[in-house]
Amino acid sequence: MRFLLGICLIALTATRAAAESGIDAWLRYAPLNAPDATVATLSAQAPNHIVVLNATAGSPIITASQELQKAFQGVFNKTIDILYAADNCSSVIGSVKVLIVGTATSFNRLCGNNSSSSLVSSSDLVPDGYLWQLPSHDSSLPTLLLGQNERGTLYGTFSYLLELAQGNDPAKTASNATTTNGHTTHISNPAAPVRWVNQWDNLDGSIERGYGGKSLFFSGGKVVTDLRRAAAYARILASVGINAVVVNNVNADAALVHTPANIEGLGRIADAFRPYGVRVGVSLNFASPQSVGGLSTYDPLDKSVVSFWDGVTLQLYERIPDLAGFLVKGDSEGQPGPKKYGRTLAEGANLFARALRKHSPADSPGILMYRAFVYDQLQESNWRADRANAAVTYFSPLDGQFDDNVVVQVKYGPIDFQVREPASPLFGHLQKTNAAIELQVTQEYLGQQCHLVYLPPLWRTVLDFDMGKVDGEPSVVRDIITGERFNRLLGGSAGVVNAGTSDTWLGSHLAQANLYAYGRMAWDPTAGHDDGNDNSSTLSTPRHIIESWTKLTFGRDPTLVNTVADMALASWPAYENYTGNLGTQTLTDILYTHFGPNPASQDGNGWGQWTRADKNGVGMDRTVRNGTGFAGQYVGKEVAAQFESVETTPRDLLLWFHHVPYTQRLPGPGENTTVIQHIYDAHYAGAETAALFVTRWAALNASGLIDPERYASIARQLAFQAGHAIVWRDAICGFFAGLSGIADRHDRVRHHPWRIEAEAMTLHGYTKQAVSPAITASGGQAIVAAGRGQASASATIPTSIPPGVYTLAVNYFDLAGGRSSYAVQINGKTIGNWTGNAEDVFGKATSTHLDGHSATRVSFLNVVVAAGDTVTVLGTPDGAEQAALDYVSFLPEGVVD
């Protein structure tokens, strides 16, 4: 042992947190209950020592060794010491059961020339890649976790530990593995170098489109002092292979890179991230030279502008030598850009790329991510000025004009993170330009973390999309973004995460699965497309990802794992069904919070999200023949031709590409039905699926499979979702029934036999109020408390609701600005009470109106009703909230209404 520089027994102070707040995400390292033979073997094989090949504090390798120690303690209750072998580790090899963690280079230098251990070949590793060398169970060879670089070492360690923490034998589950000479070698290389997260954090501490609390980085115009949560975030991100975070909003505040205090603050964030191998990136504001630099211009070709950005970049690199790069949103939604000076977007991008090139290390130049989300303010009255066309129109002619360290960051679809969009055709046009896909983990248009929407199946539709033949070869998006298809050196993924100070990071426990999946898919976007083969060697299918996440996050019980996986996989199809089926986009309010339904808000407002719904038909005509021409933007002629015709367009994109009468029969395989009837059927089916989540989740509690804290939080979210799915369903079905005048074949739409409208009840202290849009209230009206005191609404339960046992649902409006309290009574006896405090419980954007965002349902089970009973709702207003009520409904078992 004399060759070891230091021997250190790290005291284990951590006891397992009693409360499961969600803050450890999937890195809980919980004990494996119900241990099987595999777990027993893994436990028995736990190393005696962890040998770490770097002794520099803050090195990701030290971090890796600490994670190993923490995990063996948590998962197997084994206390293992860490040996620092900075000079020579040969003496420990062969003599004791060891696990060695470090870079492949340092391993070969320090340990690899020994009778018990040979040199490892690292020639197959790319930067950030890693290998595991796992001895067979009866061997005395060391276990090796070795990275191509320090970051790769940490990735290899986390992925190894995440297998152990699921009770998996890494030697058996490893893909891409070879077994020789008594050990198994597994090699994993990232498919692409750009695996970034974008945070839309503002310097005031708010997060644009963030639903998980306040900024982890900023408050009151400055970088916060306590960056422990920032470091904890980096840990979570590193565990799934993320290597950089752009910490501020793309709608960037120039002040961030303008003052020495802020640059120092960014430096402190970088310091907090560095032990996890996560680098800092910064969003820049194109107009900074003028707005904060005192120049008269921000023309990208002006010499003074070039030297302004040189200066900024130099200052940043002086403080942050490993700065990842910049992100720029220019000429989009009111943001300044190069077009003001008649310069191209490429000239705009290259301005920053050259500053980065000049000041960053030559072997890892800073990267300029340039967003393709460029569009002008559109015309209110001209649907043919199609926003979907903008990206290809602007960027296609510039292909080949961007510098090598520019990556064009392309949203998955041509509009804006809708519930379904065709893959952006721009991917097919970037053949001499680096490209990355931009995904949203934060659920802006997808229920803002209050709706369970598991996103990998949506992402797969884009990653697996073939842009068509270019030079006779297919051009699949996943191969384009990795650089493989068009031989690009750079490329990858950018995920807009917007995690915040909430203990759950995202505002919901279940939403964490999307962050986990984002990292997995950014590491390997090529694997995991479901080829229908259960024995497929790809271990990152959407189902596999949710199963592994569930085991790590909640536990390994098969019922629990199946329940969460089934719910997750049904969730996006269900959400699509009740918010925007057949390719109409999410029919939310695009002028307000992007949360609840408001289909009429899509058209005629300059944002260009047309549905063109009128009394005769619905859908955008994006054909070349007679529409906006968007279909013709796909580089593959066969792809363009497929979308050109109603008959060959997939059903789920029908209304994206075509304007059709409501009576149009749906094309292709599937039920022979009309567009309007499908709209009704899908909305009813979607709401029924959401209702099933509530009962499936409740069954887990009955079997005690989950801790009470997280169980209750998720139960509340799913109940909210089920209620809001009905709000969506009724609003969208009511909208189309009203426009088209065509009745639902099954007579469900605008026909609610189990409801009692609040406005039809006997009111004391309540007055009627119209709701806007009217489709978001049952009957178009609600009631609000007229004064400050308690108000009541009563009704004799009609004979159409026979005596029996019901679920009693109450629909009310939960607004920002007050916490009204409510109680519901049968014959004066209280059967339930609640508070309108969604603003404290959910991270979603709030509303100050009675509308589809504030419409909320609460339900009480097993309510017994006898003939002639009276139902009363008592509401006590609070602040600006008037204890508004929409209706009560008595639902027999199995009725979702």
Query: Catalytic positions, please?
Result: 333, 416, 444
Phi, psi (degrees; rounded to nearest 5) at 143: -90, 130
For ligand NAG, the closer CB: 201 or 681: 681
For ligand NAG, the closer CB: 312 or 545: 545
Whole-number minimum distance, CB 288 to ligand NAG, in Å?
Answer: 32
For ligand NAG, the closer CB: 54 or 431: 54
Kindly tell me the burial class for residue 400, based on how many C-beta atoms sit within 10 Å of its own C-beta (0-12, 13-18, 19 or more).
exposed
Kindly tell me the burial class for residue 288, based on how many C-beta atoms sit within 10 Å of its own C-beta (0-12, 13-18, 19 or more).
buried
Whole-number minimum distance, CB 181 to ligand NAG, in Å?
Answer: 15
For ligand NAG, the closer CB: 345 or 646: 646
Whole-number minimum distance, CB 190 to ligand NAG, in Å?
Answer: 8
Residues that bind ligand NAG (CB under 6 A): 3, 54, 56, 58-59, 77, 87-88, 90-91, 103, 106, 113, 124, 150, 176, 187-189, 570, 573-574, 577, 621, 626, 665, 672, 681-682, 685-686, 689, 821, 833-835
Locate 129 and state its tokens: 């890649």
For ligand NAG, the closer CB: 74 or 500: 74
User: For residue 778, which of 758, 798, 806, 748 has the smallest C-alpha distance?
Assistant: 758
Angle of the 512-523 helix axis to the 456-463 helix axis, nearest 10: 30
Whole-number minimum distance, CB 290 to ligand NAG, in Å?
Answer: 39
Question: Which amino acid, residue 1?
Answer: M
User: For residue 5, which of 89, 93, 103 has the smallest C-alpha distance?
Assistant: 89
Q: Are 824 and 830 in contact (CB under 8 A)?
A: yes
3-class SS letters over 794-814: EEECCCCCCCEEEEEEEEEEC
Coil, helix or strand at residue 889: strand
Coil, helix or strand at residue 132: strand
Distance CA 643, CA 619 (A): 13
Whole-number minimum distance, CB 121 to ligand NAG, in Å?
Answer: 9
196 secondary structure, DSSP code: E
For ligand NAG, the closer CB: 335 or 876: 876
Q: Are 496 and 207 in contact (CB under 8 A)?
A: no
Kindly tell me the burial class for residue 220, based on how many C-beta atoms sit within 10 Å of its own C-beta (0-12, 13-18, 19 or more).
exposed
For ligand NAG, the closer CB: 101 or 349: 101
Cis peptide before 773 (omega within 30 of 0): yes
Phi, psi (degrees; rounded to nearest 5) at 357: -55, -40
Distance CA 142, CA 183 (A): 10
Distance CA 480, CA 478 (A): 5
Distance CA 625, CA 74 (A): 63
Whole-number minimum distance, CB 125 to ligand NAG, in Å?
Answer: 8
Whole-number minimum distance, CB 686 to ligand NAG, in Å?
Answer: 5
Complete DSSP assignment for 173-194: H-SSEEEETTEEEEEE--S-SE
For ligand NAG, the closer CB: 621 or 730: 621
Whole-number minimum distance, CB 16 to ligand NAG, in Å?
Answer: 9
For ligand NAG, the closer CB: 582 or 871: 582
* CA 792 to the chain's CA centroid: 42
Q: Are 269 and 226 in contact (CB under 8 A)?
A: no
Residue written as tokens 């990735």?
155
Count Cβ atoms below 10 Å from residue 362 Cβ, excluding itself.
Answer: 6
As beta bridge partners, residue 792 has: 764, 874
Whole-number minimum distance, CB 259 to ligand NAG, in Å?
Answer: 29
